[in-house]
Structure 1
Amino acid sequence: MTDTVTPLADLADHAARDFAAAATPAALEDAKARYLGKTGALTELMKGLGKLDAESRKVRGAEINAVKAQVEAALNARRQALAEAELSRQLQAEALDVSLPGRRRGAGSLHPVMRAMERIEAIFGSMGFEVADGPEIETDWFNFTALNTPADHPARSMHDTFYVEGDHVLRTHTSPMQIRHAVRHVKAHRHLIDAGQTMPEIRVIAPGRTYRVDSDATHSPMFHQVEGLWIGEAISFKDLKAVYLDFIQQFFESKDLELRFRPSFFPFTEPSAEIDIMFGQGPLKGRWLEVSGSGQVHPQVIRNMGLDPERYLGFAFGSGIDRLAMLRYGVNDLRLFFDGDLRFLAQFQ
């Protein structure tokens, strides 16, 4: 402590002792105020200079400034010492044992549905099929009308879905890519078609997300589908059976399964058929399982592609990627794919 009667020559020593006794930055600021504050000892001495004559004021002012410099130096030194002490305390409190093994960050992996999709793309790619991608928000024309499903067609009730403004809909299947891809293909080869020459075949698959108002153990409002299309001058149901059998055997890595076609109805194919498979072994042995819809592309759909149905024909199919993944990985509830449960998903790493 100090007071106003402390000699100037002793102020620096008094201040140094008070600063050294301050154990915290707050205590140090209190000690500073006693010397350098508005009513501090040095401040009061500076105020008294006005009572001196010019010569004495000059000498006394120099003496006070010299002491003030010593006090400020002592103050800064103590501030630095307290800061270093605090840093040392924090380092000790937050010390790391570098000899401990590091914490590993778990490696991510592809979702099982994405694994199935990539497998499908690879298999059809090996057969010469392109992979097409398109918008998930579709126009009524591409999603329905161009696929021979006009506004008054009863088949639309099977595709009840989510509508958005501007005559658009969340696509109910990836079949709109039939039209989109075929129209681009025909436009690129129109000069050959008009000249009566053979147009390169259209051979494409379109995997992706689709949407319908449906939700249970085997259906989801959002699901994944792969559309397949092969158009040429001599593509028949025989080619469909050969291609799909080859695909399904490669996908499940088994030759011990059967394929059958059941008559069905789809407005964009004629004739139409459901595709069922039956495994020759395993827990599903002996059971027919529906995996796809298919058929010969309807003549009106061929016309909507910009082609002559008297010359060009082909087949199309649509398979549920989620269902194929369920069969491949032995999953009995579709909702498990979308619950985000890491205990389930970690099995596929």
Structure 2
Amino acid sequence: MSAPNKSYDPVEVEALKPEEIDRAVQEALGAIAAAGDLEALREVKAAHAGDRSPLALANREIGALPPHAKAEAGKRVGQARGAVNKALKARQEELERERDERVLVEEAVDVTLPYDRAPRGARHPLTTLSERVEDIFVAMGYEVAEGPEVETEWFNFDALNLGPDHPARTMQDTFFVQGRHADGSAAGEDSGVVLRTHTSPVQIRSLLDRELPVYVICPGRVYRTDELDATHTPVFTQVELLAIDEGLTMADLKGTLDHMVASLFGEGLGTRLRPSYFPFTEPSAEMDMVCFVCRGASVGDPEHPCRTCGSEGWIELGGCGMVNPRVLTACGVDPERYSGFAFGFGIERMLMFRHNVEDMRDMVEGDVRFALPFGMEI
């Protein structure tokens, strides 16, 4: 068997000729220098350094050369491609620097110019109304008290004289927070933890944490298993007040409510108390106020009906009463020495009849067009 003929020299490949390599390099360097922006440079890179560029095609032809010729041709093509890539990198850095300098000039912002943009957001009317109610009672000497929204059943029910069989403790009214038993099994109603159904637990915490006498107002979100519709929402805002002192009577409660109504709706609007029942107050009452729109004039006048009160002349605000002695005892307060009153109402409902809001869903959807007309009162 004869050895391979290493002296065989085929016809020289045209693309690998030194003059062809030099010509391709010069064309590439000229195109790189002429690129005026990064987009043009990307096109030059594809044409002169891409997979279909003359130098890339020449590199593929090296395999057709005999072994003793491959080294020289590979070196020549490699140096040419290296020179082109080096020029591309330098030109890209130069163009990027020019772009950044241009952007700094063209997109500069003069922060000393007058502010002329309209605010994009709006203060929610529920926040505004809630804080307005707080201000009324703070001016009367009350403190604003807050508490957790995830409560134990003792604070939410037991301490407020709501027994184990009270219907408010069932799943129809209360969100129970699922916990775990000692064996790892899920606990529903047995977890002992709920999303508070009212802000009354804050009253209990206030009695336990503060020295007597106690005068607090308790605003905050509460949760009940209601469907979201025009008049109901599973999450709403409630404001409650609690006053515990020596010698407080229903007359003090009535005077406090009269002052609140006058501060919110104007002077001259009377109030009335209708007998009712709440486990945590005794005696209990529903508090109504004279309609602030028709002031009772629409009653018996079919020609001038009132949408706000339904021509009844009165608007129901909320429940109230004297604190049940059992609640005082649960909090370690002597009911023989101290007495007190409490009152609570929903901010959403007050906002609805105060401003003729017909759909409660408007309050929770977050549309700034609903909140903007109420202004930015602080």
> TM class by shorter-chain length?
0.7 to 0.9
Offset at residue 334 of structure 1 (A) = 2.0
Partner of 1:27: 47
Partner of 2:300: none
Offset at residue 218 of structure 1 (A) = 2.5
Note if 1:212 corresponds to 2:259.
no
C-alpha distance in structure 2 between counterparts of 1:38 and 1:251, whole Å: 88
Partner of 2:198: 173
What percentage of residue pairs aligned between the two structures are identical? 40
Partner of 1:183: 208
Offset at residue 335 of structure 1 (A) = 2.3
Which aligned pairs between 1:4-153 and structure 2 lie closer than 5 A? 4-6=16-18, 11-12=21-22, 14-20=24-30, 24-29=44-49, 30-33=53-56, 37=59, 39=61, 48=69, 72-73=82-83, 75-78=85-88, 80-81=90-91, 104=117, 106-153=119-166
C-alpha distance in structure 2 between counterparts of 1:12 and 1:155, whole Å: 91
Instruction: Give the SS at the match of 1:246.
Output: helix
Note if 1:276 corresponds to 2:291.
no
C-alpha distance in structure 2 between counterparts of 1:242 and 1:158, whole Å: 38
Partner of 2:373: 347
Provide, for residues 87-142 of structure 1, a one-character-per-residue CA deviation record: whole Å limited to 9, x for no partner. Answer: 989999xx97989x999574312211111111111111111111111122222211
Note if 1:246 corresponds to 2:253.
no
Name whichever of 147-156 and 203-212 sits farther off. Answer: 147-156
C-alpha distance in structure 2 between counterparts of 1:227 and 1:153, whole Å: 21
Residues 1:50 and 1:148: Cα distance change in structure 2 (over 3 Å): closer
> Is the contact between residue 234 and residue 313 of structure 1 (CA under 8 Å) also seen in structure 2?
yes
Name whichever of 162-171 and 261-270 sits farther off. Answer: 162-171
Partner of 2:345: 319
Name whichever of 261-270 and 167-176 sits farther off. Answer: 167-176
> Is the contact between residue 16 and residue 75 of structure 1 (CA under 8 Å) also seen in structure 2?
no
The structure carrying a bigger helix percent of its residues is: 1
Tell me the amino acid that sits aligned with residue 16 of structure 1.
Q
Residues 1:139 and 1:75: Cα distance change in structure 2 (over 3 Å): closer
C-alpha distance in structure 1 between counterparts of 2:218 and 2:364, whole Å: 21
- The correspondence for 1:201, drawn from 205, 208, 213, is 213
Residues 1:78 and 1:207: Cα distance change in structure 2 (over 3 Å): closer
C-alpha distance in structure 2 between counterparts of 1:214 and 1:3, whole Å: 82
> Is the contact between residue 285 and residue 321 of structure 2 (CA under 8 Å) also seen in structure 1?
yes
Structure 1 stretches lacking a partner, 5+ long: 52-63, 190-199
C-alpha distance in structure 2 between counterparts of 1:281 and 1:71, whole Å: 87
Offset at residue 208 of structure 1 (A) = 0.9
C-alpha distance in structure 2 between counterparts of 1:262 and 1:208, whole Å: 26
Residues 1:77 and 1:292: Cα distance change in structure 2 (over 3 Å): same
> Is the contact between residue 15 and residue 21 of structure 2 (CA under 8 Å) also seen in structure 1?
no
Residues 1:280 and 1:337: Cα distance change in structure 2 (over 3 Å): closer
Offset at residue 339 of structure 1 (A) = 2.6
Instruction: Give the SS at the match of 1:217.
Output: coil
How many residues align? The count is: 317
Tell me the amino acid that sits aligned with residue 269 of structure 2.
L
Tell me the amino acid that sits aligned with residue 240 of structure 1.
L
Provide, for residues 259-295 of structure 1, a one-character-per-residue CA deviation record: whole Å limited to 9, x for no partner. Answer: 1100000111111000011135455476211111000
C-alpha distance in structure 1 between counterparts of 2:254 and 2:368, whole Å: 38
Q: TM-score, normalised by structure 2?
A: 0.70
Provide, for residues 14-63 of structure 1, a one-character-per-residue CA deviation record: whole Å limited to 9, x for no partner. Answer: 5213553585212111234356x46569xx89964989xxxxxxxxxxxx
Tell me the amino acid that sits aligned with residue 4 of structure 1.
L
Instruction: Give the SS at the match of 2:334.
Output: coil
Instruction: Give the SS at the match of 2:361.
Output: helix
Name whichever of 152-161 and 167-176 sits farther off. Answer: 152-161
Partner of 2:359: 333
Partner of 2:245: 232
C-alpha distance in structure 2 between counterparts of 1:39 and 1:3, whole Å: 8
Instruction: Give the SS at the match of 2:130.
Output: helix
Partner of 2:273: 261
